[in-house]
Structure 1
Amino acid sequence: MRIAVIGGTGLIGSKVVRKLAADGHEAVPHSKSTGVDVVTGEGLERASAGADVVVNLTNSPTFDEAAPAFFRQSMENLLTAGQKAGVRHFVVLSIVGVDQVPELDYYRAKALQEEILAAGPIPYTIVRATQFMEFIDSVMSWTADGDTVRLPATPIQPIAAQDVADAVAEAAVGAPLQGIHNIAGPEVFPLDELGRITLAAGADSRTVITDDTAGMFAVVHGDVLTGKDDASLAPTRYADWLAAR
């Protein structure tokens, strides 16, 4: 099977390409570095030509009010190119609970991306993942100040990037769902507690202070970012991921 991985050189994309290739598929990575620009449309017809499946792992360069325009333009361009090329399946990576946090510009933008895909001409699968383990350090950096890190107690169910990539690769070679597949890590943590665990594992002496007004996750209501009963649970536990990194 020939699979075009748009955004195939990034954190998830590079792992998806390796997984698909290891399983015997022809996985071709595309990005700006290979001459593909999803906003202008440059290179998209070439990237889509001959592909059975397109996997879109591109991301907005910002998390602000500019994000919706990026996802609208990029999805419209990708779907146009894919339809012209006869692509039979389109896969997008999204976020668990993305439609439940309208207060965040980026989440609204990702929800728009899903809507455009679902209304488009190509059979599709949306893989929604919980928060990546690899991003926890960045989340803490947003609200770090000297010797303290302020974090809300928002429930988080972190998942390893490799587990996300494995799920995306599996979706790419399967039949289109015409719907959503949720994936999540095996454990739920309050974000503030996850911060303490992370700092302790790195012998970081900073203190985490619980502050339910701190950072982007402060606007999240309840446990909407955790996997529910329909979510597939990935195998990697956070402590094991910390020990291995």
Structure 2
Amino acid sequence: MKIVVIGGTGLIGSKLVAKLAEQGQEAVVAAPSTGVNTLTGEGLAEVLAGAQVVVDVSNSPSFEPAAVMEFFETSTRNLLAAEAAAGVGHHVALSVVGTERMPDNGYFAAKIAQEQLIEKSGIPFSLVHATQFFEFVRAIADEATDGDTVRIAPVRFQPIAGEEVAQAVGRVAVGEPLNGRIEVGGPDDVRMDEFFRDALAAWADPRTVVTDPQARYYGSVPGERTLVPGEGAILGTIHYRDWLDRTPTGQ
């Protein structure tokens, strides 16, 4: 089966391509570095020729609200139009747990817009909603840093290893279209401030985690369960400390 992975050189995309190849699938990397640009449409017709499935795990280079909205709307429209012309039978997109619960967040709003375009496209689809990746935990701490303190809300948090996200996306890609969504998250549902207190200790990071109910997560204040999946979610098995032991740089 020919499966084109949009964003196939990125964090999740590269892991996904490797997993699909191990299963004997024809996993094709599509990214600007391979001559495929979803913003301009360059290379889409060529790479999608003969493809049965397209998996979009691409991401915006900027999280600024207007820029991220422009990225997801433009790239998704171009991609869906090219898929329709090529006769692609299954569109898979990676999204974020909680998008609909924090629509005032610029990034989440852009992902909602992306999903709406997919749902209305007429192409059979599957949406995979994932929680935050272990690989982004340090960046989340840096975003929340104020001087020598890290301000974190006491809400639920359930991050997951990138390799387990790629595994879940891969399973969906080779299956029948869901015409709906699934959620994936890590094995541990913990309080976000406590998670970061433990994480900074593990990193030997001198910053202090301050519990702040009004702390923002990339510009928005999350609710108690905004960032965690609901019942029936697929849960990973890799715990953060175990992942960190074998990935000491956090990358």
TM-score range, shorter chain: over 0.9
Kindly indicate whether residue 22 of structure 2 is the aligned counterpart of residue 14 of structure 1: no
Match of 2:202 in 1: 201
C-alpha distance in 2 between matches for 1:44 and 1:4: 10
Cα pair 1:38 1:74 within 8 Å, conserved: yes
- Unpaired runs of 5+ residues, structure 1, are none
| Match in the other structure for 1:35 | 35
3-state SS in 1 of match to 2:66: coil
Which has the larger displacement, 4-13 or 141-150?
A: 141-150
Q: Which amino acid aligns with 2:37?
A: D
Residues 198 and 242 in structure 1, CA contact (< 8 A), matched pair in contact too: no
Aligned equivalent of 1:71: 72
Conserved in 1, the CA contact under 8 Å of 2:216 and 2:222?
Answer: no
Match of 1:238 among 233, 237, 240: 240
- 1:214-225 correspondence to structure 2 within 5 Å: 214-216=215-217, 219-225=221-227
Give the corresponding residue for 2:54.
54
C-alpha separation in 2, matches of 1:149 and 1:97:
22
CA contact (8 A) 1:65 1:106 kept: no
CA contact (8 A) 1:79 1:121 kept: no
Q: CA offsets per residue over residues 75-104 of structure 1, 9 Å max, x none? A: 111011111111111100001111110110
- Cα separation, 2, equivalents of 1:151 and 1:221: 12
C-alpha deviation, 1:146, in angstroms:
4.2
SS of structure 2 residue aligned to 1:108: helix
| Rounded Cα–Cα distance in structure 2 between residues aligned with 1:206 and 1:73 | 39
The amino acid across from 2:20 in the alignment is L
Q: Which residue of 1 aligns with 2:124?
A: 123
Structure 2 letter corresponding to 1:166? Q
Determine helix, strand or coil for the equivalent of 2:94. Answer: strand
Q: In percent, how many aligned pairs have the same letter?
A: 47
Partner of 2:94: 93
Cα distance in 2 for partners of 1:161, 1:201 equals 19
Give the TM-score of the pair, scaled to structure 1: 0.96
Partner amino acid for 1:116?
L
Equivalent position of 2:105 in the other structure: 104
CA distance in 1, matches of 2:221, 2:145: 18
* Residue of structure 1 equivalent to 2:143: 142
Superposition deviation, residue 121 in structure 1: 2.3
SS in 2 for 1:216: coil
Shift of 1:207: 1.4
1:171-210 correspondence runs (5 A): 171-210=172-211
- Aligned CA RMSD, in angstroms, stands at 1.2
Cα distance in 2, alignment partners of residues 216 and 122 from structure 1: 33
- Pairwise CA distance, 1:69: 1.9
Q: CA deviation at 1:143?
A: 2.4
Separation of aligned partners in 2, 1:210 and 1:144: 12
Say whether 1:159 aligns with 2:160. yes
1:45 aligns with 2:48: no
Alpha-carbon distance in structure 2 between the residues aligned to 1:115 and 1:230: 23
Instruction: Check whether the contact 2:93–2:126 (CA below 8 A) recurs between aligned residues.
Output: yes
Q: Secondary structure at the match of 1:182?
A: strand
The runs of 5 or more residues in structure 2 that have no matched partner are none
Instruction: Output one character per residue of 1:164-208: Cα deviation in whole Å (capped at 9) or x when no partner.
Output: 000011110000000001111111122211111111112222211
Aligned length, in residue pairs: 245
Checking the alignment, whether the CA contact within 8 Å between 2:134 and 2:240 is kept in structure 1 is yes
Alpha carbons 2:144, 2:217 under 8 Å: kept: no
Give the Cα separation in 2 of the matches to 1:108 and 1:148: 28
